[in-house]
A = this chain, B = another copy of it.
Amino acid sequence: MGAALRRQEDEFTPRQQQVLTAALELLVEQGERLTMTSVARRASCSKETLYKWFGDRDGLLTATVQFQASKVRMPHVDRRRIDAAVLRASIEQFARDLLTTISGKVSVTLNRLAIGHAGADDSPLGDIVLENGPLAIRKRLKPVLDAGRESRLLRFDSSEEAYRSFFGLVVRDVQIRLLLGEAIEMGEVEVARDAARATEQFLRIFGVGQG
């Protein structure tokens, strides 16, 4: 997590945040083919201002991703005492959060953007997106997993490995299919069902006793 990856929300003036919001909208609507002209028009600002504030097109895109990342504030859950029911509920909640995040339009759009840029230049978009999405949830989940282990409810060697299996069980092929353009219905019902199933399976693997 380099200094450039996280950025405080108040580093952007309100007017700049309007511009970035417009850019994000256009990104969701049109993807990578947004033009500087379209952003200026949507945000009712001049192109000169865009270039003064963000340097160039890449700077605008980077700022947009950072802006979005700065909006995601994570409540920090850290439980010392925990029982089986609380543990299960916590894990299931994280599964819901993760699924909701990655199936959202903004997430799909920004992941597409970062993936597109990962091939060519060495822009920091990939790191920012990675840091903002899965890794953020992982940071929050880790103390829960550790507490579960200390309470003899979970068994694993590395919380890193446990989290990655959790990620796989929750996300499965949903993310890649969404990125590839498949129209998958992921409403509250589907998210809840998948989260419950993933939690069940996770506890089957890492839970102690009958889970």
B176:A175 contact, CB within 8 angstroms: yes
Q: Which of A167-189 contact B (CB under 8 A)?
A: 167-173, 175-177, 179-182
B169:A165 contact, CB within 8 angstroms: yes
Indicate whether A111 reaches chain B with its CB closer than 8 angstroms.
yes
User: Per-residue CB proximity of A103-118 to B under 8 Å, as 1/0?
Assistant: 0000001011011111
B172:A130 contact, CB within 8 angstroms: no
Minimum Cβ distance to chain B for residue A206 (Å): 9
Q: With a CB–CB cut-off of 8 A, which chain B residues contact A168? A: 167-173
Indicate whether A25 reaches chain B with its CB closer than 8 angstroms.
no
Q: With a CB–CB cut-off of 8 A, which chain B residues contact A32? A: 116, 119-120
Indicate whether A93 reaches chain B with its CB closer than 8 angstroms.
no
In whole angstroms, what is the CA distance A164 to B126 when docked?
Answer: 26
A180:B114 contact, CB within 8 angstroms: yes
Interface residues of chain A: helix, strand, loop or mixed (majority) = helix
Indicate whether A143 reaches chain B with its CB closer than 8 angstroms.
no
Query: How many copies of the chain does the oligomer comprise?
Result: 2
B33:A120 contact, CB within 8 angstroms: yes
- Please pick, from B130, B172, B182, B204, the residue contacting A177 in the complex, using a CB distance under 8 A: B130
Minimum Cβ distance to chain B for residue A91 (Å): 15
B182:A130 contact, CB within 8 angstroms: yes
In whole angstroms, what is the CA distance A204 to B117 when docked?
Answer: 39
B118:A179 contact, CB within 8 angstroms: yes
- Please pick, from B31, B169, B177, B182, the residue contacting A119 in the complex, using a CB distance under 8 A: B31
User: Per-residue CB proximity of A86-129 to B under 8 Å, as 1/0?
Assistant: 00000000000000000000000101101111111010001101
| 5 A-B pairs in the complex with CB atoms less than 8 angstroms apart | A31-B119, A32-B116, A115-B181, A168-B173, A204-B204
Give A residues with C-beta under 8 Å from B.
30-33, 109, 111-112, 114-120, 122, 126-127, 129-130, 134, 164-165, 167-173, 175-177, 179-182, 201, 204-205
